[in-house]
Structure 1
Amino acid sequence: MELFTVTDGCTGCGLCAAACPASLVRQRTPGQPPQALAGREAHCIRCGHCVIACPTKSFVHALLPPDSFEPIRRKEFPSPGSLRHLLMARRSCRTYNPAPVPRDDILALIEAVRHAPTGHNMRQVGYVVVDGPERMDAARQLVLDWIGLEVAADSPRAARLHLAGAARAAARGKDVIFRHAPHVIVAHAPIDGISPEIDATIAASWLEIAAMASGYAACWCGYLMFALAAHPPVNAALGIPSGHQGYAALLFGRPATRVAQIPPRDMPPVHFYEPGACGNEGE
């Protein structure tokens, strides 16, 4: 298979070759049309950078149909100030309107974040959405069952995560697991992937911001994430595909109330690298 072709509009600028992260696009001499590295087609990660780098739209990729590309509308970009405000206004929501969110709205949010970066552009992140009171109750019980096992074993994890206290609160009827959210969304990826946990975490982070921008709210569901990491049966019971693991979980729904202020946060420490400078103060 010929990985790509170029039309007569090619100027030989070489930008496509410079953009290919796998070095599959080669330009033998400046000004000449590019050629594909023979026999390495399977190494293409289908990122599309070679196509979008071409200023004359003369680069045609065999695996990426031209009509699958969407033009960038820079006028629709948020301003730096509005983006900063959105990021700062994001809050972890622990009080929800119990009404479920339409599935189409959830799918629209996931569609919007499908361009979240993944290691080697593998794009293997998937999602499990739990919705409906009965399904949420069943998922909650999965986590509580795992907590019970940890507490009964008096495990170091139970002590570190204060799981006995969570179990007592749940026994009193307090929903410390899902906070009465109408949904939980789990991002999963292949266990043997290049960077599965990072990929799923980035995807869920993007989803949380997209939810905020759309008027919804989310909160990272720590107890479920701990259960997914420590107890494989939880993954299987939630319907996560074999060979995958759930790495990130968000409570999701409409917020019960709208907050009107942004609480203060300190500026994190920032150091600019200086070659030869000592990294430990006092040495």
Structure 2
Amino acid sequence: MSFYSIDQTKCKKCFICAEVCPNKLLLKDKETGFPKMRIGAEAACLQCGHCVAACPVDCVQLEPMPNDHFLQVDSSLSISSEQADQFMRTRRSIRSFKSKPVEHDTLQAIVDLTNYAPSASHKQPVQWVMVESPESVREMAEMTIEWMMELRKNNRELAKKYSVAGLIAGWKKGQDLILRGAPHLAISYMDKNKTWHDTDSAIALSYLELAAHSRGVGACFAGFFTYCANDYMPLREKLGLQENHVCCGGHMLGYPKFTYPRIPMRKKLPVNWL
């Protein structure tokens, strides 16, 4: 099979595959009238799968992406706009967690869904460290406090900016204001030389948070931990981060201790319509 091919017995010559191709690599064959890939276009193919996914008669094949690896859309699972609106609005940043751990299969399903997050040129550059052990999460919170203590000694200006004094004092009193006693932690990282790493990782982290929300798992962005993971060598070594890696963000994960029966208000959204 060639890089791009079609089953001519099925093809209706609708050219939807050509229309949805991001880089416009498909054209009409002058002899057969069927769609084909431009000569030498394989290197420019993003392997996004749009041509296969959009074909209404399932006649397109892309060599790097076998058709049996595509998931069939189940229209019975579609939700209304009202359901989607409530789902998005009821997402909360959770900072109080139950001690009950989240099942491994659930954590796996949550992080797997981030693989469907869009990325620049479909590079899929985001990588993950999933900390499943509550003891390890606690250790990483403590390492963040150690980093803050060093900041207070060696970089007072930055320590003041991050308000580390209160965080350290809280830790000494038994309050974990770093990772909030979460049983699990998801850390996204990338090669810092990749373009759009901030945007790609932010989208992936949002997918992770929404995937967690759909399974009744709470999440919250771990900002202080993220600062530490990009500056404190002992923590970087613990996470297995290399010199070229940037920690793009961490999310605490766990079952919420409390429910939220109401949706809080938001400031008026500034929108300029042109």
TM over 0.5: yes
Give the match for residue 200 of structure 2.
199
Distance 2:14 2:142 in 1: 60
CA 146–16 in structure 1, closer or farther in 2 if over 3 Å, else same: same
The alpha-carbon deviation at position 165 of structure 1 amounts to 2.1
Deviates more, 1:245-254 or 1:53-62: 53-62
Give the match for residue 111 of structure 1.
112
Matched-pair contact (CA < 8 Å) for 1:13–1:31: no
Give deviations 1:157-186, integer Å, cap 9, x for gaps. Answer: 322221222122222221111111111111
Give the match for residue 6 of structure 2.
6
Distance 2:233 2:199 in 1: 19
Report percent identity of matched pairs: 27
Matched-pair contact (CA < 8 Å) for 1:191–1:244: yes
Matched-pair contact (CA < 8 Å) for 1:236–1:242: no
- Equivalent position SS for 1:97: coil
Matched-pair contact (CA < 8 Å) for 1:13–1:30: no
- What are the within-5 Å matches in structure 2 for residues 247-266 of structure 1? 247-266=248-267
Matched-pair contact (CA < 8 Å) for 1:131–1:183: yes
Runs of 4 or more, structure 1, over 4 Å off, are 28-31
- 1:94 partner letter: R
CA 36–260 in structure 1, closer or farther in 2 if over 3 Å, else same: same
Distance 1:32 1:228 in 2: 56
Matched, 1:135 2:133: no
The alpha-carbon deviation at position 233 of structure 1 amounts to 5.0
Distance 1:131 1:62 in 2: 36
The alpha-carbon deviation at position 28 of structure 1 amounts to 5.3
Give the match for residue 83 of structure 1.
84
- 1:4 partner letter: Y
Give the match for residue 280 of structure 1.
none
Deviates more, 1:202-211 or 1:241-250: 241-250
- Equivalent position SS for 1:181: coil
The alpha-carbon deviation at position 156 of structure 1 amounts to 3.3
- 2:5 partner letter: T
Give the match for residue 148 of structure 1.
149
CA 212–163 in structure 1, closer or farther in 2 if over 3 Å, else same: same
Unmatched runs of 5 consecutive residues or more in structure 2:
none
- What are the within-5 Å matches in structure 2 for residues 1-283 of structure 1? 2-8=2-8, 9-27=10-28, 32-231=33-232, 233-240=234-241, 243-273=244-274
CA 5–28 in structure 1, closer or farther in 2 if over 3 Å, else same: closer
- Equivalent position SS for 2:158: helix
The alpha-carbon deviation at position 30 of structure 1 amounts to 11
- Equivalent position SS for 2:128: strand
Distance 1:92 1:27 in 2: 50
Matched-pair contact (CA < 8 Å) for 1:120–1:194: no
Matched-pair contact (CA < 8 Å) for 1:133–1:182: yes
- Number of aligned residue pairs: give it: 273
Distance 1:211 1:58 in 2: 35
CA 4–256 in structure 1, closer or farther in 2 if over 3 Å, else same: same
TM-score (normalised: structure 1): 0.88
- 1:190 partner letter: D
CA 160–30 in structure 1, closer or farther in 2 if over 3 Å, else same: farther
The alpha-carbon deviation at position 138 of structure 1 amounts to 2.0
The alpha-carbon deviation at position 212 of structure 1 amounts to 1.5
- Equivalent position SS for 2:230: helix
Distance 1:235 1:32 in 2: 56
Distance 1:266 1:242 in 2: 40
Distance 1:49 1:143 in 2: 43
Distance 1:17 1:243 in 2: 38
- Equivalent position SS for 1:189: strand
Distance 2:173 2:130 in 1: 27
Distance 2:31 2:267 in 1: 51
- Equivalent position SS for 2:116: coil
CA 229–241 in structure 1, closer or farther in 2 if over 3 Å, else same: closer
CA 35–88 in structure 1, closer or farther in 2 if over 3 Å, else same: same
Matched-pair contact (CA < 8 Å) for 1:12–1:31: no
Matched-pair contact (CA < 8 Å) for 2:131–2:186: yes
**Alpha carbon RMSD of aligned pairs, Å?**
2.1
Unmatched runs of 5 consecutive residues or more in structure 1:
274-283
